[in-house]
Amino acid sequence: MAFSALRPLWTTNFLVRKTAVKAKSDPVPIKAPTPPTKPKSKPGSLKAKSDGYQTPPNKVAGVTDDLSMLGLDDEQVKMDNNPLPAMSMKQAELIEKIKQEEENEAKKRVSLVVVGHVDAGKSTLMGRMLYELGDLSDKEKTANERGSQKVGKSSFALAWGLDALGDERDRGVTIDIATSHFDTANRSFTLLDAPGHQDFIPNMISGASQADLALLVVDASPGEFEAGFDRGGQTREHALLVRALGVRQLIVGVNKMDVVEWSQDRFEDIQDSMKPFLQAAGFAPEKTVFVPVAAMAGVNLAHGDELKLKAWYNGPTLVDILDKVDVPRRPLDAPLRYPISNVFKGQSAVSSGVGVSGRLCSGVVQVGERLRILPGDETAVVRTIEREDETVPYASAGQNVNLYLAGIDPIHLSIGAVLCPLSDPVPLATKFRAQILVFDIAFPLIAGVPLELFHHSNNVPATLSKLISVISKGATAKPSPRVLQKGVHAEVEITLRAPTQSSSTRAPVIPLEPAHINKEMGRILLRRGGETVAAVHMREAAK
């Protein structure tokens, strides 16, 4: 599929579109603001909520120079003269309260990212599942069927449940992360449906960095599984990316089983091909589950009633598997770290003013709290917190929430910035030491070559400014190596560079924390020429 024809639509009155933006020179394709059928505003559904909000290309770090494009300077946002809310609890009390609540919670919260090669059926699968679990109504489903038929894309009717924006629907491809929610008997999921096309990998990374768990969808059709799993295919790339971003549990959904007549052999061949690769990528075999499904017909998602499948498969449905996934321990005691993945304008009475969305990597936040925004010297007060379409008085690590902020000019809010407590700001880095694991790359890494660094929704040019040592079994195996070959662990120094298109010659700064202090804030990816080349753990700032 070629996307060169896609061009951003710089229509006026568009506010900030969510997610990371490419540093490459090709423009970020952006969807038309009004979907043919407005999807149900799912809790935290960024697509539905941010409908019509756009981020211009290359506005990830320090998105401040052309605010007219963002449309955030309107009166409603600036003239926020309402009295500021007060904090209702001391921080320590709040943490204790949340710990108690989490212990007693009937349904544990988990964030799930759905990844995989383009057209594997990710959006169809999740659209179908939302429908089967009652989170997408018959009315919406019928409207999507009619709408997609009208534009000659009827096979994408279920995907329209998540692919809400114009360009996605016209082209039958997911471009941006869609966020939604669903519950199983024992778990409450935040769903992040990622794009599979390699042009939109920055968006996929932004979504994957907010997830505890991944569902990797592969297409069982003849030749299609192979296309995704061959070198350069996104099945491989996405598995490596989610693992490098800290996801340990993986469900592999072997989809379109209808196309292969529910063949047990095909399912087992796919399993056998993938297992060694996934294990080598760092997924423990006991935490990796394969499940045969057919998204379009809804087979083995919530119900496993296809006779041809039942003839050889008596394992769990996808929902059964999801209902038993592990729930990670949340770093509630650590200082708040809330990387902003989107900036938008609140549209309702409770959510007026400027809103940001993202996931708390650590800590807690409450209404009335004054927060620092980094990079920069600005602060803002949390006026409202919204979780799953409801306002709540506080939120905690692991939760995806929207925060509506008071006392801040939106010019100071950018995608990739981090909100933190006044007393405990996140460090900023331009040059730092890190440990890296070099992936299976064709050409070794050398010092000075241009790379792209991905950290949450930030995407900035960088280089390996020093190759300090190759590490083996925790000790230096080779000091000052000239190159880093595939598969090695190494200690390096990384320096961020000013984007080539930028008029500024100053190197950018991004909020980063050593991985041993805050895992989610210290995990980084390095890419080169459209390929992920290394997983990185930040160690310390370099002089």
Q: Which residues bind ligand GTP (CB under 6 A)?
A: 116, 118-124, 155-156, 159, 172-174, 195-197, 255-256, 258-259, 294-296
Please name the helix (run of DSSP H) or strand (run of DSSP E) that holds residue 18, with its range, or none. Answer: none
Q: Are 56 and 8 in contact (CB under 8 A)?
A: yes
Query: What's the Cα-to-Cα distance from 159 to each of 92, 296, 526, 531, rounded to whole Å?
Result: 44, 9, 31, 27
Least gap, CB of 462 to ligand GTP (angstroms): 27
Least gap, CB of 228 to Mg ion (angstroms): 13
Judged by CB, which is closer to ligand GTP: 299, or 415?
299
The binder of 256, among ligand GTP, Mg ion, none, by C-beta within 5 to 8 A per type, is: ligand GTP
The binder of 415, among ligand GTP, Mg ion, none, by C-beta within 5 to 8 A per type, is: none
Instruction: Name 183's bridge partners.
Output: 188
Q: How far apart are CA 399 and CA 465, in angstroms?
A: 36
Judged by CB, which is closer to ligand GTP: 177, or 509?
177
* CB neighbour list of residue 132: distance below 8 Å, 6 or more residues apart: 298, 301, 302, 303
Instruction: Name 137's bridge partners.
Output: none
Q: How far apart are CA 520 and CA 280, in angstroms?
A: 22
Least gap, CB of 227 to ligand GTP (angstroms): 12
The binder of 121, among Mg ion, ligand GTP, none, by C-beta within 5 to 8 A per type, is: ligand GTP
The binder of 197, among ligand GTP, Mg ion, none, by C-beta within 5 to 8 A per type, is: ligand GTP
Coil/strand/helix, residue 319: helix
Least gap, CB of 503 to Mg ion (angstroms): 36
Judged by CB, which is closer to ligand GTP: 255, or 351?
255
Judged by CB, which is closer to ligand GTP: 322, or 419?
322
Residues in the chain, overall count? 543
Please name the helix (run of DSSP H) or strand (run of DSSP E) that holds residue 147, with its range, or none. Answer: helix 138-150
Judged by CB, which is closer to ligand GTP: 213, or 405?
213
The binder of 353, among Mg ion, ligand GTP, none, by C-beta within 5 to 8 A per type, is: none
Q: Are 124 and 141 in contact (CB under 8 A)?
A: no
The binder of 186, among ligand GTP, Mg ion, none, by C-beta within 5 to 8 A per type, is: none
Q: How far apart are CA 243 and CA 525, in angstroms?
A: 11
Instruction: Name 109's bridge partners.
Output: 188
Q: Are 237 and 531 in contact (CB under 8 A)?
A: yes
Residue nearest to ligand GTP (CB): 196
Judged by CB, which is closer to Mg ion: 174, or 203?
174
Q: How far apart are CA 81 and CA 74, in angstroms?
A: 14
Judged by CB, which is closer to ligand GTP: 292, or 339?
292
Least gap, CB of 301 to Mg ion (angstroms): 16
Least gap, CB of 123 to Mg ion (angstroms): 3
Least gap, CB of 122 to ligand GTP (angstroms): 4
Least gap, CB of 195 to ligand GTP (angstroms): 5
Within 364-507, where are the H helices?
none
* CB neighbour list of residue 102: distance below 8 Å, 6 or more residues apart: 108, 330, 332, 396
The binder of 119, among Mg ion, ligand GTP, none, by C-beta within 5 to 8 A per type, is: ligand GTP
Judged by CB, which is closer to ligand GTP: 255, or 459?
255
Judged by CB, which is closer to ligand GTP: 206, or 351?
206
Q: How far apart are CA 196 and CA 314, in angstroms?
A: 30
In the complex, the residues that contact Mg ion under the rule CB under 5 A are: 122-123, 174
Coil/strand/helix, residue 346: strand
Q: Are 444 and 485 in contact (CB under 8 A)?
A: yes
The binder of 212, among ligand GTP, Mg ion, none, by C-beta within 5 to 8 A per type, is: none
Which runs of E-coded beta strand occur in 328-409? 338-346, 353-359, 364-366, 370-374, 379-387, 390-392, 394-396, 400-406
The binder of 508, among Mg ion, ligand GTP, none, by C-beta within 5 to 8 A per type, is: none
Coil/strand/helix, residue 252: strand
Least gap, CB of 272 to ligand GTP (angstroms): 21
The binder of 44, among Mg ion, ligand GTP, none, by C-beta within 5 to 8 A per type, is: none
Judged by CB, which is closer to Mg ion: 189, or 439?
189
Least gap, CB of 162 to ligand GTP (angstroms): 8
Q: How far apart are CA 31 and CA 276, in angstroms?
A: 38
